[in-house]
Amino acid sequence: MNSPKSITCASSPSCCWLIPLPLLEAALLVAWSSGFVGARFSIDYAPPLLVVFWRCVLVTLLLFPFVARQLRQTSWVALLKNAGIGLLAMAGYLAGITQGIALGVPAGLAALFADLLPLGLALLAAGVLGQRLTSRIWAGLLVGVAGVALGTHGALAWGSAPLWVYGLPLLGMLSLAAATLWQKQLPASQSMDLLPNLWLQCCVSGLAFALIEGMQGGLAPIANTGFVLSVLWTAGLSTMGGYGLYWLCLRRASATRVASILYLSPPITMLWAWAMFDEPLSWQMALGMALSAVGIWLVVREETRDARRKQPHGTAAGSETAG
């Protein structure tokens, strides 16, 4: 999925380009999958959206001293656009997934809907932006989905929730897909540095979660160790790590590549669950992971070839950016 180079190195930390992209993507997988583990852990101690609200509050408070000056120097237009991206990426995505589970969608099925992000991105890009993908990239995306379905088949079940509730995780996935494409289309003059952008997204999403959770119950933190650990875990690993690395990788590669990497999130999550909750592993999970890896390889190989074909003669052929 090729798009203008709207997010430049100037808007990201200089060390970003010193770290090999595969290492950033591996870290993204670990951090992104930690969100599902955090949700699995926290559900015994507090309502899911209450934990999400306080994780946004914590990140907002911790980052503010480091980003206040940059925020004051940012135009209102850039602030509003990046706030809109944050609402879609965090509030829309997390609310869709967590509320779907809270209303009866089985967690495994909700996670599978969330893992359709690469296909959601491709469909939105084709239908809204008019971007075209090659048949090989479509094949890689479909192979990746097949791998996710195979690996998570044992955890899938069709619950008893009303039919409309199953649309919430899908809407959450599409919300993150829309935010991703919007971020990639922003001109460089309206892009923000990583930390101010993350602060702004957590701030506006925290307000949205306060409204949603406030209508259902109180916003006061729960005085138990499990709640505190849940907030610390999801604020550090899932928000600072997961979302931070997601946006960082988008500065280096195309949306299709970054999203397709997340096909490996379910098996990584299952490894987390095996290590922390003694949940069983199976050969079916390993086969699904291998099939997803093949799908990712097809996408990355085709995007690399496409980038090389479009490079002017005489330039380096090893550029990592496809967007």
At residue 43, the pLDDT reads 77
At residue 44, the pLDDT reads 80
At residue 232, the pLDDT reads 93
- Sign for the CA dihedral angle at 197, 203, 207, 212 comes to positive
At residue 11, the pLDDT reads 42
B/e letters for 284-321, b = 16+ CB within 10 Å, e = fewer, are: ebeebbebbbebbebbbebbbebbeeeeeeeeeeeebb
Listed residue (124, 236, 100) closest to 180, CA to CA: 124
At residue 156, the pLDDT reads 57
- DSSP state at residue 92: I
Tens digits of residue pLDDT in 198-249: 999 999 999 999 998 888 778 888 989 989 998 999 899 989 999 999 999 9
At residue 265, the pLDDT reads 81
At residue 68, the pLDDT reads 94
Q: CA dihedral in degrees (90, 96, 100, 103; nearest 10)? A: 90
The residue written with tokens 């379905």 in the block is 149
At residue 4, the pLDDT reads 38
At residue 15, the pLDDT reads 57
Residue 42 — φ and ψ, nearest 5°? Answer: -75, -20
- DSSP state at residue 45: T
At residue 312, the pLDDT reads 60
At residue 139, the pLDDT reads 84
At residue 213, the pLDDT reads 84
CA distance 247 to 253: 10
- Give the chain's residues under pLDDT 50: 1-13, 314-323
CB 120: neighbour CB atoms within 10 A? 21
Rounded alpha-carbon distances, angstroms, from residue 100 to 50, 120, 181: 15, 18, 24
Question: Is the Cβ–Cβ distance between 148 and 115 less than 8 Å?
Answer: yes
CA distance 75 to 56: 23
At residue 7, the pLDDT reads 37
